[in-house]
Amino acid sequence: MSEIVFSSWGRKIVDNRQGGSTDLASLKLKIPTEYLCKGNVGAFMGWDGVVVLDPKTDVVAMAAEYMKRVQEKHCCGKCTPGKKGTRVMQDTLARIISGQGQESDLAILDSLTDLMQDCKCTLCMTAAIPVQDSVRYFREDYLEYLAGKRKPTYAGHYIDKVTAPCMDTCPAHIDIPAYIEEIKNYRFDDSLGVIRERMPIPAVCGRVCPHPCETACRRALIDEPISIMVMKRVASDHEWLHHREPPMQPKPSTGKKVIVVGAGPAGLTTAYYLALEGHAVKIIEMLSEPGGTVAVGIPDYRMPRPLLQREAQIIQDLGVEIEYGVKLGRDVSLRELKEQYDAVFLGTGAFKSKPMGVEGEDAGYEGFSSGGINYLRAVALGQGMKTPKRIVVVGGGNTAIDCVRVALREGAEETILVYRRSRNEMPAEPYEVDDAEEENVRFEFLVNPTRLVTKDNKITGVEVIKMELGEPDESGRRRPQPVKGSEYVIECDMVIPAIGQDPDLSYLEDGDYGIKQTRWSSIVTNNGTMMTDNAGVFAGGDCEYGAMTVVLAVGHGKRAASVMHRYLTDGKAKLDDDEAMEDIMNRLGVFDPDEKISALGGLKREHQPKISGAERAKNYEEIELAMPESQAVVEAERCLRCYRVGMVALG
């Protein structure tokens, strides 16, 4: 049932009620035709219109139910236009479907959309849009109700969810407007409570998250996005700076045992939420401390490890046991874990560096690092890594940037980053590149290594060839192509490849576990449940998706914990309505970069203080400092509270 009967989504009208054919794909509407096991999707109603897939859908009855839920469940009641406007709409629609309406009621419904433009937030004003569309384009249905010729035909199920552009784009789906609102009202503990509903490591994600949420901040359409990531840090810093004890308490024991492999962001998150549900959770970790890549791959000047360790201790205080120095596949097998525990979560990360593919990298030359993540780990754990005077790092991501900056702090006199594309194509965060430039890192763009140059089995340089950008590749970036005859040598004492990492799934090689892998050596999970084809074995984070971000790993861990809880208690690994709607909205997309916003702009973004200059490269002190709470309140006041409500009709 992918054919559209009617759509007003995006202010584009498609009406096939009298004939015609239009499918969802042609309009780029990623609305599923089936919803879990509850039936076919008859219609979707939300902030940007109405989409009808089943001609039997009673749009008037759906509009009445939609506004009832908006008013009773989601309206905050903090402004008169929203509180009274949605109530008038609810009562008017209820009167119409009960057969007691008048034609003047249609004019009331149509006019309220404009009257609700002055709401405190966008929830109520956008909720009026699909109702207005239903009145305009399904007027004959309304007139039948007014004439007493029709009774409501309700769908088998209506399922609703509130979202916002920033919430939708955040992989952990944190209620961002809510925690920012709490900061605006000086309720920092309450703000942290909202964050912890979806994220247990706010001190980490308040520092090193790439904040994709800010790319979907509607405030940016009129001036600059809200400092969403920094607001998270403000709430987290408030607790530890004021020596507050976290208030979370686990539920009574369920008697179920879970093993989590890996104490990185995904594993810690999974353990946190399972422990809160009353399950006995143990984590095994191959390193000597918690955090995974955050601990040994993100330097202390970006993420102080004592704060990371505090986050892990909070999780342990819920009853979670962490055993260090235990590696899956070396010290214990997956089969043994399956036999001893009721469920297993694999959060083994991506610690295997990708090869450069150049001559001599497998020859064991002195001065050639096996990979950027390995270099950072050796430095972080004090494993005797000696950094010589002149370093070349190959790559353009955050790991490559961290390597050149750490090398300076480890005594290098010159660090050079070699990247085969231009600065514009670098996947590293732009502000990280700026920071590296401030610390006098040298950049060589549009060059690519071809071979290692050595003398007496030691690295003395790296030969590179100049590149030029051609047509875009599958990533959307212009493909680099070598310029024939343009080779030259960059002298150095050490070469560190940092072009990416892959998961190491060798622990699956000791038996047939029935766990599928992608061609990128990551684990395949099913239908958003995070469970593999091996019942009771779940996976998330970098080992499931490939090397990505901390916040994505947190999102995986939260989803996995929720599904694992249902698996442990009900015997079924399934999504609930909140998660299913989360996925529907994410595929549909909530942020409109072309939206015209009538709000006044001109309020510039507040920035946290920062240590500047090359002198900071002499130590590992944190560079970005805490934003004063008074400044955070000013920044929080810029939030537009861009809530929206979506609802599906099933059956």
Do 12 and 26 belong together in one domain?
A: yes
What is the pLDDT, as a whole number, of residue 20?
A: 87
Task: Give the β-pairing of 352-353 and 390-394.
Answer: unpaired
Six-digit token pair at 237?
A: 């810093």
Query: What's the confidence (pLDDT) of residue 357?
Result: 87
- Locate 269 and state its tokens: 């998150």
Q: Is 338 helix (H, G, I), strand (E, B) or coil?
A: helix
pLDDT tens profile 34-84: 999 888 999 999 999 999 999 999 999 999 999 999 999 999 888 888 889
Domain-located, residue 628: no
Going from the C-alpha of 156 to that of each of 153, 579, 585, 645, the distances in angstroms are 9, 19, 21, 19
Locate all alpha helices (DSSP H) within 300-381, ordered by sequence: 305-316, 334-340, 372-380
DSSP conformation class of 521: S
54: CATH:
1.20.1440.230
390 part of a folded domain: yes
What type of residue is 576? D
Measured distance CA(535)–CA(533) in Å, rounded: 6
For 637, phi then psi, to 5°, come to -70, -15
Residue with token string 């008038």? 88
pLDDT at 79: 85
Q: What is the DSSP string of 80-149?
A: HHHHHHHHHHHHHHHHHHTT---THHHHHHHHHHHHGGG-SSSHHHHHHHHHHHHHHHSHHHHHHHHTT-
Q: Which residues of 451-469 are buried (b: 16+ CB within 10 A; e: fewer)?
A: bbbbeeeebbbbbbbbbeb
Single-letter residue type at 140 = E
In the structure encoding, which two tokens stand for residue 247, read together? 């208030």
With beta carbons less than 8 A apart as the criterion, state whether 295 and 376 touch: no
129: Cβ contacts below 8 Å, ≥ 6 apart:
47, 48, 49, 113
Is 625 contained in some domain? no
What residues form DSSP beta bridges with 157? 650
Q: Identify whether 77 is part of a domain.
A: yes
Do residues 329 and 448 share a domain? no
Number of helices followed by number of strands (H, E) in the chain: 21, 22
From residue 402, alpha-carbon distances to 94, 408, 431 in Å are 60, 10, 12
- Contact in structure between 183 and 206 (CB atoms under 8 Å): no
C-alpha to C-alpha distances, 508 to 12, 257, 573, nearest whole angstrom: 50, 22, 22
Which of 574, 593, 610 is at the close of a domain? 574
Q: In this structure, what are the phi and psi dihedrals at residue 191, rounded to the nearest 5 degrees? A: -60, -45
**305 in the same domain as 431:** no
Tens digit of each residue's pLDDT (9 = 90 or more) over 467-520: 999 888 877 778 899 999 999 999 999 999 999 999 999 999 988 899 999 998
Helix (H) or strand (E) run with residue 195 in it:
helix 188-196
Does residue 616 lie within any of the structural domains?
Answer: no
Last residue of a domain, one of 465, 500, 535: 500
Closest CA to 578 of 569, 568, 592, 566: 566
322 with 441, same domain? no
Amino acid present at 597: I
Residue 508 φ/ψ, nearest 5 degrees: -95, 0
328 and 263, same structural domain?
yes
Domain match, 25 and 147 both: yes
The answer on 365 and 322 residing in a single domain is no
Q: Residue 287: is it exposed, middle or buried by C-beta count within 10 angstroms (0-12/13-18/19+)?
A: buried
Look at residues 125, 137, 128 and name the one whose alpha carbon lies nearest to residue 89. 128
| Residue at which a domain ends, from 539, 574, 609 | 574
Give the C-alpha separation, 643 to 651, whole Å.
27
Do 368 and 479 fall within a single domain? yes
Asked if residue 143 and residue 68 are part of one domain, the reply reads yes
Closest Cα to residue 293, out of 503, 433, 436? 503
> Which candidate, 384, 372, 368, places its Cα nearest to that of 458?
368
Which of helix, strand or coil describes residue 497?
strand
Q: Which residue reads 């057969």 in tokens?
A: 99
Whats the size of the chain, residue-wise?
651
Long-range (24+ apart) CB contacts under 8 A made by 601-606 are: 601/222, 601/223, 602/223, 603/223, 603/638, 604/223, 604/224, 605/223, 605/224, 605/225, 605/226, 605/227, 605/635, 605/638, 606/227, 606/631, 606/632, 606/634, 606/635
User: What is the residue range of 52's domain?
Assistant: 6-162+644-650
567: phi then psi, degrees, rounded to nearest 5: -65, -40
Q: Which residues contact 600 (CB under 8 A, 6 or more apart)?
A: 222
Number of domains in the chain: 3
288 and 272 housed in the same domain: yes
Q: 10 Å Cβ neighbour count for 138?
A: 20
b/e sequence 170-197, b meaning 16+ C-beta within 10 Å: bbbbbbbbbbbbbbbeebbebbbbbbbe
Spans of the chain below 50 pLDDT: none
Q: How far is CA 97 from the centre of its chain?
A: 41
Dump pLDDT digits (tens) for 263-297: 999 999 999 999 999 999 999 999 999 999 999 99
CA distance 493 to 510: 40
Is residue 113 one of the residues assigned to a domain? yes
Same domain, 23 and 124: yes
In this prediction, residue 37 carries a pLDDT of: 81
Q: What is the CATH number of the domain that holds 316?
A: 3.50.50.60
Please report whether residue 221 resides in a domain: no
Neighbour-count burial for 259-275, b at 16+ CB within 10 Å, e otherwise: bbbbbbbbbbbbbbbbb
Say how far apart CA 565 and CA 71 lie, in whole Å.
32
Q: Are residues 34 and 149 in the same domain?
A: yes
Instruction: Please report whether residue 520 resides in a domain.
Output: yes
70 three-class SS: helix
Structure tokens at 88: 């008038």
Q: Tokens in use for 418?
A: 């070699």
What are the residues facing 353 on neighbouring strands?
501
